[in-house]
Amino acid sequence: MVLSKYFYTINVAPSVHVLSQAYLDIVKNNPLNWKSFTIAYETSSDLSRMQHLLAWKQFHKTGIKLIPFDRNDDFRVLWKLIKNSRERNVLIDCPADIAKRVMQEAMNFNMTTSFNSFFFTDLDTHTSGLQTLISEQFLSNVTSVRLRGYIPPPQHSETDVFDPGEKETIRSIRQQNIYDALVLFYNAVQQTFQPDPIPPPQVSCLGGFWEPGNDLIDRMKKLNPKHIEPHYKTQKMLLNPHGIRDDFNLDIYDAMIDETLSVWNKQHGLVAYEVLMANFTRKLVKPRKKGEEAEKQKKKVKYTVATRIGEPYFMIREEPEGVHFEGNDRFKGYVVDLIFELAKDLHFDFVFEPVPDNKYGSLDPVTNEWDGIVRQLMDNQAQMGICDLTITQERRTVVDFTVPFMQLGVQILYSKPPPPKKELFQFLEPFSVEVWLCLLIALLIMSLIYVLLARFTPEEWKPQDDPNSVQLVWSLR
């Protein structure tokens, strides 16, 4: 087996193969639940972590969209490509130290609205400083992953907690792995040789090996995390017989406010954090203080509403002499009243933006481009569109519609004929009685004509040669 040459190698970093499976579960389930997305990856990244995503059938149905970029590139080119693809879900695989710069350029392309969603795969994203980007212009959902110290029931012990009591000083995955490797080695040495002293290696330059080495390696692979002292920074670390860490916990969290959404591991899959909290009966969990970042996220969301001028739905209000209207007060109509009532009940802000071409939205067969309200929605220039717009299959392929709440009022009523009765002479119904009478009269007249013609024919009056002989026409001779 290929892995046999790594018998004396212990890898405390998470298995790439298992990480790939975790990313697939996260993308296709809540909280993301993506059906289509674009993968933007930094050229130095290892795409083997995406092997399960690239093999996902749903990904192939919508088309594989991969956009590479370099850490020294102009990120405006990256976001221009993503914006032109009209993709709102983006998976970004890049080092944590450039994640903030990448998202700063996204704001310049209006790609950080509440309708956009991002997923960072780097395990150090929590150290990138994305929280500083929270503003009225940055309303997107940003999700990421990191190694977590929680072990789901029934495997948890008294040392497993949801949140650390003090702020962790060792934050990067590299530092945590180094710490955990030292803890692993220390405990393996203690359990292998205690209380006996460690035998010094008797190895010459000509060959030989340290005999307790095999026992030490085997002990490291079989250590139980519950019996480790001090505990791992990443808590759950189980090694397979090949020395690969293929069982660990991932923390799926909101990267903007550092709030845990779900927990993933190989055994239990993706589990909502609220479910884990409900099952956690011990009263050791302290409520997390989310800080000002969470308060900023709770502010009213401001939507841009695209519409067109047309009576009686949306009209420009006439200004009396000496009066000047600003903002949404410039408009009136049914659409304006409807959005005002919705905003009052659902607690959101909005601003009306009439489309420049005053069109509903149709596809140009020559340029293959949309116009009007539909184009504004596709380009993320507006988050909502409202007008007397007809729902067509062509438009539904590019934008989503609400359930129709208003009809035109023009309807066509028609009666459905009763089913035909089954009668014996039903075969006569294709023609009327007059037609059948004319047909019978025509047959009678034709029969009489044939009789008269036979009487007038001279051949009918000639006598037969032998009136007593009869010839059988259908004889076999």
Within 10 angstroms of residue 355's Cβ, the number of other Cβ atoms is: 22
Question: Both 278 and 148 in a single domain?
Answer: yes
pLDDT for the residue 427: 77
What does the block give as tokens for 417? 């004929």
Q: How far apart, in whole angstroms, are the C-alpha atoms of residue 253 and residue 130?
A: 13
Tell me if 288 is assigned to some domain.
Answer: yes
Choice between 329 and 455, residue whose per-residue pLDDT is larger: 329
Residue where a domain stops, chosen among 255, 272, 296: 296
Residue-level pLDDT at 17: 92
Q: Please determine, for residue 159, whether its predicted confidence score (pLDDT) is greater than 80.
A: no
Which residues, other chains included, contact 422 with Cβ-Cβ below 8 Å and sequence gap of 6+?
A: none
In a domain, residue 352? The reply is yes
156 vs 14, higher pLDDT: 14
> What average pLDDT does range 231-235 have in this prediction?
80
Residue 334 predicted with pLDDT over 70: yes
Percent of the chain residues topping a pLDDT of 90: 36
Identify whether 474 is part of a domain: no
Indicate whether 320 pLDDT > 80.
yes
Q: What pLDDT is stored for residue 105 in this prediction?
A: 93
Q: Is pLDDT of 162 > 60?
A: no
Residues 242-262: tens digit of each pLDDT: 889 988 889 999 999 988 899
Q: Summarize the confidence of residues 146-162 as an average pLDDT.
A: 52
Is the confidence at residue 25, as pLDDT, over 80?
yes
Q: How far is the CA of 91 from the CAs of 126, 132, 142, in angstroms?
A: 16, 20, 10
pLDDT score for 287: 45
Q: pLDDT for 79-138, tens place per residue?
A: 999 988 888 899 999 999 999 999 999 998 888 888 899 999 999 999 999 999 988 788
Same domain, yes or no: 213 and 360:
no
Q: Any idea of the CA torsion for 338, 344, 350, 353, to the nearest 10 degrees? A: 20
* Helix (H) or strand (E) segment spanning residue 305: strand 302-307
| Candidate ranges 49-63, 192-206, 345-359, 422-436; pick with highest mean pLDDT | 345-359
Whether residue 119 lies inside any domain: the answer is: yes
333 in the same domain as 285 = no
Domain assignment of residue 476, yes or no: no
CATH number of residue 381's parent domain: 3.40.190.10
Q: Is the CB of residue 236 less than 8 Å from the CB of residue 153?
A: no
The answer to the question of residue 442 being in a domain is yes
Cβ–Cβ < 8 Å for 271, 277: no
Residue 385 pLDDT level (bands cut at 50, 70, 90): very high
> Is the per-residue pLDDT at 292 higher than 60?
no
Which of 116-130, 240-254, 409-423, 446-460 is least confident?
409-423
Average pLDDT on 390-407 reads 86
Query: Is 43 in the same domain as 172?
Result: yes
Residue 163 has pLDDT above 80, yes or no: no
Using an 8 Å Cβ cutoff, are 225 and 147 in contact? Answer: no
Domain extent, residue 324, equals 302-396
Q: Residue 34 is part of a domain; what is its CATH number?
A: 3.40.50.2300
| CB of 212 closer than 8 Å to CB of 192 | yes
Identify whether residues 308 and 272 lie together within a single domain.
Answer: no
Band of residue 286 on the pLDDT scale cut at 50, 70, 90 = very low
pLDDT on residue 167: 55
d(CA 230, CA 25): 32
Residues 344 and 245 occupy one common structural domain: no
Q: Do β-strands 141-148 and 259-265 pair in parallel, antiparallel, or remain unpaired?
A: unpaired
Q: Which of 296, 320, 337 is the last residue of a domain?
A: 296
Is 61 part of a structural domain of the chain? yes
Which string of b and e fits 153-168 if b means at least 16 CB within 10 Å?
Answer: eeebeeebbbeeeeee
39, 177: one domain: yes
pLDDT at 71: 92
Report d(CA 277, CA 466) in Å as an integer.
121
Mean pLDDT of the chain: 82
pLDDT of residue 79: 93
Regarding whether 283 and 256 lie in a shared domain, the answer is: yes
pLDDT of residue 466: 62
3-state helix, strand, coil in the chain (%, to 5): 35, 15, 50
| 238 part of a folded domain | yes
Residue-level pLDDT at 1: 38
Q: What is the mean pLDDT of residues 332-356?
A: 92
Structural domains counted in the chain:
3
66-75, 80-89, 219-228, 420-429: least confidently modelled range: 420-429
The 8 Å CB, 24+ separation contacts for 453-456 are none
Task: Give the C-alpha separation, 385 to 360, whole Å.
Answer: 10
Q: Say if residue 68 is exposed, middle or buried (CB neighbours under 10 Å; 0-12, 13-18, 19+).
A: middle
Looking at the structure, tell me whether residues 81 and 179 fall in a common domain: yes
Specify burial of residue 375 (Cβ count, 10 A radius: 0-12, 13-18, 19+): buried
Q: Return contacts of 409-415, CB within 8 angstroms, 24+ apart.
A: none
- 337 shares a domain with 254: no
The domain boundary residue, chosen from 353, 376, 396: 396
Give yes or no: residues 387 and 266 share one domain: no
Give yes or no: residues 201 and 343 share one domain. Answer: no
Top pLDDT among 177 and 231 is at: 177
* Distances, alpha carbon 23 to alpha carbons 38, 233, 264, 422, in Å: 14, 22, 10, 65
What's the pLDDT score for residue 475?
56
Backbone φ and ψ of 204, nearest 5°: -100, 170
Q: Does the structure show a pLDDT above 90 at 464?
A: no
What average pLDDT does range 224-234 have in this prediction?
80
Residue 267 contacts by C-beta under 8 Å, 6 or more apart in sequence? Answer: 152, 247
pLDDT at 356 over 60: yes
pLDDT at 208 over 80: no
Q: What per-residue confidence (pLDDT) applies to 471? A: 61
Query: For residue 2, what pLDDT is reported?
Result: 44
pLDDT value for 307: 95
With 50 as the cut, is the pLDDT of residue 288 above it? no
